[in-house]
Each structure stands twice: as structure tokens, then as C-alpha cells.
Amino acid sequence: MENHTKVTEFILVGFKSHPGLQLLLSVLFSTMYIVTVVGNACMILIIRMDSKLHTPMYFFLENLSILDICYSSIITPKAALTFSLGRRIISYNGCASQMFFFSLFGTTEAFFLAVMAYDRFTAICNPLLYQIIMNKRLCVFMVMGSYLSGCINCTIQTGFTFSLSFCGPKKINHFFCDVPAVMHASCSDTLVNEIVMLAVCGSIIVGTALVVFISYGYIIITIVRMPSAESRRKAFSTCSSHMLAVSLFFGTVYFMYAQPGATSSPDKSNTISILYTTVIPMLNPFIYTLRNKEVKGSLKKQFKMKGFF
């Protein structure tokens, strides 16, 4: 077998087209990244500055915002520079590092969404025991467990992928070092790697999605059985934002990693990847803010205190 350490760098060729389009992509990615950082940073500040939001639900939401900033920072700034300067070369170690941290934050986000679904299940289906069940110790344990699960997955994915031999043209048909795209660039037989990716990523996506679906199944049953329309509306409003975020995230991730032949359509994967690398982290703070009365109320309170109106 060829020694994969012969390759010291890769060339990212995703979205390589007319220079005018490259500049447009650079501006688009830069704008989305700024909005992502500002939006999520504002969400973190709002939660930390308002004591009424110091609850398990907003503790998880604050951590999700921190995660989204990290998640987007791994990919978007590098992609924007690549489009604007045309420097598409990434070192072997840089590619491995990018894949490691991207897999870490992406996997952790899947577990975060499952944890947040369980939190909403407990709040709506067991309201009297909510404070006892969702204590601070359990919340911290869930966050740390999510990161630990992310570490395990990214170690497996990165280790297996970079054990392959890279002896070809060194071109990666993507705008970042994603697992399927890097495997596609290898000159080794990738069958075992594809099976491992399908098994590990599939089990994570199916497992976390099951927690979400089961939680919301019980939530919907509980909401339907509520006696008044007002109580049903209030209960549903606390879940609708999370349901939208879950649908966006799991829909795109399933398409990318949890189905056979995930490495066979790189061009389509490039387009889908924009959704979960840049668009979803940018949309999350708006989804949770615009559909959440407590956050909007806290935001208005902060503006009044600062004398804006």
C-alpha cells in the first residue's frame, strides 16, 4: 500500500468557477459568518444578562449558541478566503484538523438537539418534577456527555479517513475537508471506511433522532390532552422553534452521512453542505428569538435599560 504521508497538501476545488462568482461567494460566506457570530453572541449575552433566563432550557440554548459559533468558525472563514484569494491549498495536517473539529462540533450539535428535546419533554410531560429532574448537575452532565460523544466520533472518522492512501491528484471536490469528500479523493479502497461512516454516523443520527421523535411524540399527546386552548398554545410555542431547528439539521445531515453512497455525488453534497455549515448556525439564533416570547421580552427589557426606547 502507498504511504499516505507522501501527500503534504490538498487542493479544494469545490465551487471552482468564474472569478465574478468566486467574489460573490466570498461576500456571501463572509456576511453569513458575521451574522452567525453576532446573532449567537447576542443570544449568549441576553441569556447571561437576564436572571429569568437562567433555566435548563436557556442553559442548553446558550451552549448551542457557543457551539454554533465554533462550528461555523471551522469552515466559513477559510471558505471565504479561498473564494476571494483563490488560495485553494490546504495542508495535510490542516485538513485533518479541520475534519476533526468539524466532526466534533457537528456530532455534539446532534446530541445537543436530542438533549433539548428531552428537556422540553420533561417540562411539558412532567412539569411538577421538572426542577428536580433537570437539576444543574444533570444539565452539565448532558452537555459534557454530548462533547464526549463528539470526541469519540471525530476521532474514529478522522482516524479512519486519514489511514487511507492519497497518491492521486490531491484534489478534494469540496470547499472544506469533509469526510466523504476526502475519502473520494483517496486512491485506496474505501469500502470499509464507508461502512464505518455509515454505521457510526447512522447510529448517531438515528439514535439522537429517535430521542427527539419519541420526546415530541409524548409532547404532542400531552398537548392534545390539555384542557384549554391557551395552555395548548403556550406549550406548543415552547417547542416549535426547536422542532424547526431539528428538522433543518437532521434533514441535511441524514442526506450527507446516513445513507448508502454518500460519497458518490460530491457536487450535490457541496450545495447541501452550505446549509449545515453556514446557514443553520446563522438561522438558529433567529429561530429561537423570533418565536420565543421570553427572549423577545428580555431583549426589549435590555433595550429599554440602555435607553434605546
Domains of the chain: 9-306 (1.20.1070.10)
Q: pLDDT value at position 4?
A: 44
**Which residue's C-alpha cell is 452532565?**
141
Q: Strand pairing partners for 172?
A: 12
Tell how far CA 16 is from the center of its chain: 25
Are the C-beta atoms of residues 237 and 293 closer than 8 Å to each other?
yes
Other Cβ atoms closer than 10 A to 268? 11
Are the C-beta atoms of residues 13 and 49 closer than 8 Å to each other?
no
Cell numbers placing 264? 458518490
> What residue ranges of the chain have pLDDT lower than 70?
1-5, 17-20, 168, 256-269, 290-309
Cell numbers placing 79? 471558505
Are the C-beta atoms of residues 219 and 236 closer than 8 Å to each other?
no
Q: Give pLDDT tens digits for 173-205.
A: 888 998 888 988 888 888 888 888 888 888 998
Which is it for strands 171-172 and 9-12: parallel, antiparallel or unpaired?
parallel
Cell numbers placing 88? 485553494
Q: pLDDT value at position 2?
A: 43
Q: Give pLDDT tens digits for 248-281.
A: 888 777 776 655 555 455 556 677 778 888 888 8
- C-alpha span between 239 and 237 (Å, rounded): 5
pTM of the model: 0.86
Q: pLDDT value at position 23?
A: 85
Other Cβ atoms closer than 10 A to 287? 17
- C-alpha span between 3 and 274 (Å, rounded): 32
